[in-house]
Amino acid sequence: MLPETLRAQVQAWIAADPDERDRAELTALLADDGEQAAAELADRFGGRLQFGTAGLRGVVAAGPNRMNRAVVRATSAAVAQWIWRGGQDAAEAGVAIGCDARNRSADFAQEAALVLAGAGITVHLLPARQPTPLLAFAVRHLGAAAGIMITASHNPAADNGYKLYLGDGAQVIPPADQEIEAAIGQLGPVGSIRLAEPDSPLLRRLGDEIAAAYLDAICATASARPHAAWLRFVYTPLHGVAGSLALRAFGQAGFPEPDVVAAQAEPDPDFPTVAFPNPEVPGVLDLALAQARRSGADLVIANDPDGDRLAVAVPDADGGWRTLTGDQVGALLGSYLIGKFPAETQNGTDNRLVASTIVSGSLLGKITAEAGAQYVETLTGFKWIVRAGDARPDLRFLFGYEEALGYCVGTVVRDKDGISAALALLGLAAAARSAGSSLLDAYDTLERAHGVHLTDQITVPSTTPVYVMAGLRASTPAELGGEPVLSVSDLTGGTSQLPSADVLSYRLPDARVVIRPSGTEPKIKAYLEVVQHVLDGDLAAARQLAAGRMARLIPAVQAVLAGRDG
């Protein structure tokens, strides 16, 4: 039996909902007297999607706790209020809007555009089905006050999202996100929100000019050398929207045409060939790897559905294929870019800057130190990585990465960009091939010089992550995996280098464990790293020792997290 208060809440939402399909969906659930329908309505109306990490993300369906036109309308109205805080200049600079190919992405982009134009704000609407990095680029290229990207990145097919960029071209950070969340809570009925007409002069529908400018910018420093013509690689956009732009980038930069996975080449919001459209998940690259085995390719590269991440796989010495971790690719690209761009010394300081996060591997920091360049460690997320050098305009940002397959090459895009990262990776792979080596050989060289850096990750579902973190703070383990815990760092309250964050870091001898709640899902994440020095050049022995230590550390961390969910 549906409680009358909930029934009244649903009926009030139906009366204001601007979408006929969503009204029909809720009406059908109301008419169903079953327990499943009641539970579904209770969940949909038990709260509303919170404007948090970069914006919104959730299942596409009707109700305040889902992604739909009503939620997009309310969020856009709050964004409009926030834009107007910048005055007439901000309203005239406007907002760039883009969308991927997920279910209802184009509808949501149009809804956001009509709300903003209805509030007197200029809207720069990109063509539909474009990758996220293009929108991030467009914000600064157009001089917009903000940007909105309708995407759920690599989330399941049922999801969609609303990602906000500030005028600096980077993802929203506090206090702007908190101000927008507060404004959403104070809005009246969505039916009272004014919409512009589709032919409003404030709606500026863009063509290919933004894509052309983006390609010119990312290809300017990524032109292939003659030996790249012999590089053979397989490429897949995983049913996402990066394929067309990526192929144009490869060609414009002078790289050979890739062997594209045909079954995954075109955008498809149902992602029919993969169970989960995240290239980090085992099995997602199976079609690409099979194609690479048949063609004898040198490597496989893949973008995620919105094109902001890059996955890489290479043939190994045993005749199989190995997918590189984000930390491995990050170290390779960082080393390559530091070597590619010579130092420009200012006041006796090397001005090259690279950045990574507190949960990513530590190898890049050692590579950077050896080169004499500057290294900054940030909180998780590209909203922090790309701002690592903002307080130091004398530094040149070369590269930033996080272990979740996100890479930022230079400053053309102030966010992770799987297309420009692919160009850099292809440049490195071509250089290695021309020297008679491979990406694995290049990585071996890094680990011989700096030690084996083995990383892994543990994810534990948690309905109450705050209690898990409180329990960890109340009781610190003396050892983990047979190795003593030397110290614990708690980022609550922040440090002189980092803002406040719900993060605990355990330091062990040549190892570390970082634990934090997920910013987008009900999970606790633990990031593990083991460092093993290489003796007498015996890399295989060092890797075996590191693997043994990691094999003991993983269950120890799992045991610490087990049973703490309150």
Tokens of 124: 């720069």
- Coarse DSSP helix, strand, coil percentages of the chain, rounded to the nearest 5 percent: 40, 20, 40
Match domain 47-207 to its CATH number in 3.30.9.10, 3.40.120.10, 3.30.1370.60, 2.40.128.30.
Answer: 3.40.120.10
Give the position of tokens 């600079």. Answer: 93
Q: Which of 122, 129, 77 is nearest to 106 (CA)?
A: 129
Which one is catalytic: 153, 335, 356, 360?
Answer: 153
Pairing relationship of beta strands 487-490 and 504-508 according to DSSP bridges? antiparallel
Per-residue confidence (pLDDT) for residue 464, from 0 to 100: 84
- Asked if residue 367 lies in contact with residue 443, where contact means CB atoms within 8 angstroms, the answer is no
Provide the 10 A C-beta neighbour count for residue 95. Answer: 29
Per-residue confidence (pLDDT) for residue 343, from 0 to 100: 85
Pairing relationship of beta strands 321-323 and 396-402 according to DSSP bridges? unpaired
Residue pLDDT tens, the chain, 566 long: 789 999 999 999 999 999 999 999 999 999 998 999 999 999 999 999 998 778 999 999 999 999 999 999 999 999 999 999 999 999 999 999 999 999 999 999 999 999 999 999 999 999 999 999 999 999 999 999 999 999 999 999 999 999 999 999 999 999 999 999 999 999 988 989 999 999 999 999 999 999 999 999 999 999 888 888 899 999 999 999 999 999 999 999 999 999 999 999 999 999 999 999 999 999 999 999 999 999 999 999 999 999 999 999 999 988 899 999 999 999 999 999 999 998 888 777 899 999 999 999 999 999 999 999 999 999 999 999 999 999 888 899 999 999 999 999 999 999 999 999 999 999 999 999 999 999 999 999 999 999 999 999 999 888 888 888 999 999 899 999 999 999 999 999 888 889 899 999 999 999 999 999 987 678 899 999 999 999 999 999 999 999 999 999 999 999 998 866 55
- Structure letter (DSSP) for residue 191: G
Give the position of tokens 């083991």. Answer: 530
Give the C-alpha separation, 362 to 385, whole Å: 15
Q: Which of 224, 303, 215, 281 is nearest to 257 (CA)?
A: 224
Per-residue confidence (pLDDT) for residue 520, from 0 to 100: 67
Per-residue confidence (pLDDT) for residue 318, from 0 to 100: 82
Give the C-alpha separation, 375 to 366, whole Å: 9
Match domain 451-561 to its CATH number in 2.40.50.140, 3.30.390.10, 3.30.930.10, 3.30.310.50.
Answer: 3.30.310.50
Q: Residues 405-438, buried b or exposed e (16+ Cβ, 10 A)? A: bbbbbbebbbbbbbbbbbbbbbbbbbbbbeeeeb
- Asked if residue 325 lies in contact with residue 455, where contact means CB atoms within 8 angstroms, the answer is yes
Helix (H) or strand (E) holding 365: helix 363-371
Per-residue confidence (pLDDT) for residue 375, from 0 to 100: 96
Provide the 10 A C-beta neighbour count for residue 288. Answer: 27
Give the C-alpha separation, 498 to 64, whole Å: 34
153 is catalytic: yes
Per-residue confidence (pLDDT) for residue 1, from 0 to 100: 75
- Asked if residue 28 lies in contact with residue 44, where contact means CB atoms within 8 angstroms, the answer is no
Helix (H) or strand (E) holding 125: strand 123-125
Alpha carbon distances (Å) from 156 to 265, 272, 275, 465? 18, 12, 8, 22
- Asked if residue 133 lies in contact with residue 307, where contact means CB atoms within 8 angstroms, the answer is yes
Q: Please give the full DSSP string across 284-316, using - where no structure is assigned.
A: TTHHHHHHHHHHT-SEEEEE-TTS-BEEEEEE-
Planar angle of CA 123, 125, 129, nearest 5 degrees: 155
Per-residue confidence (pLDDT) for residue 563, from 0 to 100: 61
> Going by C-beta distance under 8 Å and a sequence separation of 6 or more, which residues neighbour residue 536?
none
Task: Read off the pTM.
Answer: 0.95
Q: What is the pLDDT of residues 45-101, one digit of tens each?
A: 999 999 877 899 999 999 999 999 999 999 999 999 999 999 999 999 999 999 999
Q: Please give the full DSSP string across 251-294, using - where no structure is assigned.
A: HHHTPPPPEE-GGGSS--TT-TT-SS--TTSTTTTHHHHHHHHH
Q: What is the pLDDT of residues 429-440, one digit of tens each?
A: 999 999 999 999
CATH topology of domain 208-450: Alpha-D-Glucose-1,6-Bisphosphate; Chain A, domain 3 (3.40.120)
Per-residue confidence (pLDDT) for residue 522, from 0 to 100: 81
Alpha carbon distances (Å) from 67 to 58, 117, 287, 416? 6, 21, 31, 24
Give the C-alpha separation, 322 to 283, whole Å: 12
